[in-house]
């Protein structure tokens, strides 16, 4: 099992942000994607998560393409965008049910919801949540179906210290089960806490 990116290119207007990015992550690998503001980390994560179409390149999980909205392998992926954006008019409970229906998966168990801190907000509208609460709700949604690959964009933004500890433990356990995570972050203490392999995005390519 592995995540493989090869030759990923993405241009916005006149600016080519990704210029042949390549990466391989083996089972049990937590990759911290680091790089300066605007270098393209969210863009690369968006491509891996399948919400941005690359101009060229391949992204596969165990050899199955993750590209395209209907790629079956995307059921094995959980994604939380940088903004932790989700439909604001849905209650957290409805968001989880929607993701579970789309993935043909069971809802997360109550103890997992409790652990990520989403249980207390189940009946609140996503649009009424604080950033940290929204991030916890979106994390719960990303965990629906027990995905092999977690794609998390700045996941510590808005989290309190207990939330960061919870997330670090969750990721370490995910890796211990053979899961893979791709985490864009500027938070070096978090990178250390999860003992991540740091990969640098520089000039549109992945190094390290
Ligand atoms: N939808 C878009 N349309 C046009 N340009 C975009 C779009 N999305 C991103 N960009 C540009 O692509 C570049 C990379 O943006 P991206 O958000 O991927 O960077 P980042 O490395 O995640 O930055 P940060 O560390 O600040 O979060 C930026 O110059 C940004 O302006």
**Which residues, other chains included, contact 165 with Cβ-Cβ below 8 Å and sequence gap of 6+?**
193
C-beta of 51 in contact with ligand 1 (< 6 A): no
Contact status, residue 83 vs residue 152, Cβ threshold 8 Å: no
Q: What is the pLDDT of residue 72?
A: 87
Index of the ligand 1 atom closest to the CA of residue 45: 18
Q: What is the pLDDT of residue 93?
A: 97
In the chain, where the domains are located: 1-63+148-208, 86-146
Q: What is the pLDDT of residue 84?
A: 81
Three-state DSSP class for 51? coil
The DSSP call for residue 21 is: E
Ligand 1: distance of its center to the CA of 120 in Å? 33
Calpha distance 162→81 (Å, rounded): 21
Index of the ligand 1 atom closest to the CA of residue 184: 22
CATH placement of domain 1-63+148-208: 3.40.50.300
C-beta of 38 in contact with ligand 1 (< 6 A): yes
Contact status, residue 56 vs residue 8, Cβ threshold 8 Å: yes
Mean pLDDT of 64-81: 90
Calpha distance 184→148 (Å, rounded): 17
At 167-205, the pLDDT tens digits run: 999 999 999 999 999 999 999 999 999 988 999 999 999
User: ipTM > 0.85?
Assistant: yes
What pTM value is reported for the model?
A: 0.96
The pair of three-digit structure tokens given for residue 190, joined into one six-digit string: 């978090």
Instruction: Provide the mean pLDDT of the chain.
Output: 95
Calpha distance 208→201 (Å, rounded): 9
* pLDDT at residue 15 is higher than 90: yes
C-beta of 41 in contact with ligand 1 (< 6 A): yes
| Residue identifier of the C-alpha nearest atom 24 of ligand 1 | 37
Q: What is the pLDDT of residue 208?
A: 75
* pLDDT at residue 88 is higher than 80: yes
């Amino acid at each position: 099992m592995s995540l493989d990116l090869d030759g990923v290119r993405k241009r916005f207007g006149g600016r080519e942000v990704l210029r042949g990015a390549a990466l391989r992550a083996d089972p049990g690998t937590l990759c911290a994607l680091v790089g300066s503001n605007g270098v393209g980390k969210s863009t690369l994560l968006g491509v891996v998560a399948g919400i941005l179409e690359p101009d060229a390149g391949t992204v596969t999980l165990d050899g199955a393409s993750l590209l395209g909205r209907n790629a079956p392998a995307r059921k094995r992926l959980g994604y939380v965008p940088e903004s932790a954006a989700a439909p604001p008019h849905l209650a957290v409970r409805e968001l989880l049910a929607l993701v579970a229906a789309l993935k043909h998966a069971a809802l997360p168990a109550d103890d997992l919801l409790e652990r990520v801190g989403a249980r207390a907000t189940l009946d609140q509208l996503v649009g009424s949540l604080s950033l940290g609460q929204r991030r916890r709700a979106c994390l719960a949604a990303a965990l629906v179906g027990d995905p092999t690959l977690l794609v998390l964009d700045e996941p510590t933004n808005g989290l309190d210290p207990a939330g960061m500890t919870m997330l670090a433990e969750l990721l370490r356990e995910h890796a211990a089960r053979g899961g893979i995570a791709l985490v864009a972050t500027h938070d070096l203490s978090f990178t250390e806490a999860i003992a991540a392999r740091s990969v640098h995005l520089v000039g549109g390519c992945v190094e390290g």
